[in-house]
Amino acid sequence: MLALTWNGQELALDPSYPDPQPGPGEALVQVLLAGICGTDRAITGGYAQFQGVLGHEFVGRVLACIDRPELVGRRAAGEINIGCGRCVRCQAGMRNHCQQRTVIGIRSRDGVFANYVAIPAENLVPVPNGVPDEAAVFTEPLAAALEILEQVLVHPSDRVVVIGDGKLGQLVARVLHLTGCQLVVVGRHRERRSLALLRDVGIRTGLVDDLPDGWADLAVDCTGQPSGWADSLRLLRPLGTLVMKSTYHGEPNIDLSRLVVDEITLLGSRCGPFEPALRLMESGRIDPRPIVDAVYPLADGFEAFQHAQRAGALKVLLRP
């Protein structure tokens, strides 16, 4: 099959990469669409020391699945964390934190920038007929945005700031907007299309310096940059909550004293629930398709990555 791979030093398009061979309990899935995200780009910069087929955001069609034959022929999205199933964490329903876990396209397991992928049947979530591929490919990152509401109770009276108007910030903002909170998304370039897309759905936007110090009850950092940490702390009031939604490649300079003195609650937030994400898209309450910048055939994977790296670029998709 054709696959876009990373060997630790460079991207490569391999037209004869071995087809995946599903093991016990696994399904064979044909990839219909896959999304390039910030983590994929970070891997090519040295994050996670991953080598193999990149990519973890996808929608596909199930070609073979012995354990769940009812899925064969159907479209599905896939949860990316694969636990060992035996350890204390897996037995407690915490497979996302299994110490032996593999992660599709990120940790010791080939990803979805290819024609096919093998994935445990239990990780597959059927996509409703009313959700088109161009929306269903957002299931994983939209679920990650929903994880915030699994962790934090957001009141309509809360002042909430999302730092970062990129791909993840777009989805996080759309999720938080559903709560009726006093929401503002801040970026660094007023003229960017990303801020206009948020205003189109009724979300207030601005620049980082538009808001006064201590304005927010809740800050969500979606930048993946050390500057996002500093902006979040500046905008939070004492006793506020800071949610970190982006992984960092590198070591940001952290003012731990500020966390202690102002009694800030710090939360890491990663993967989230797929079924609610799909319901939101099926109902039309969230439509992520305007976030798509471009769709490239997998054979143009190099050009797709170059597009994804442009300043202000939003979601770039690959169609195997």
pTM: 0.96
Q: Which domains does the chain have, with CATH numbers?
A: 3-138+288-319 (3.90.180.10), 144-268 (3.40.50.720)
Tokens encoding 208: 């980082």
For residue 164, give Cα distances in angstroms to 98, 104, 148, 254.
30, 25, 16, 19
Q: How far is the C-alpha of 160 from the C-alpha of 154, rounded, in Å?
A: 9
| Residue 40 CA from chain centroid, whole number | 10
Residue 214 is predicted with a pLDDT of 97
Residue 174 is predicted with a pLDDT of 98
Strand order in the sheet with 159-163: 204-207, 182-187, 159-163, 216-221, 236-244, 265-268
User: 310: which residues sit within 8 A by CB, 6+ positions away?
Assistant: none
- Collapsing DSSP states into helix, strand and coil, what is residue 36? strand
pLDDT in tens, 195-253: 999 999 999 999 999 999 999 999 999 998 888 989 999 999 999 999 999 887 667 77
What are residue 88's phi and psi, to 5 degrees?
Answer: -60, -40
Where the chain has pLDDT below 50, the residues are none
Residue 191 is predicted with a pLDDT of 80
How many CB atoms sit inside 10 A of residue 183's CB? 26
User: 19: which residues sit within 8 A by CB, 6+ positions away?
Assistant: 1, 115, 116
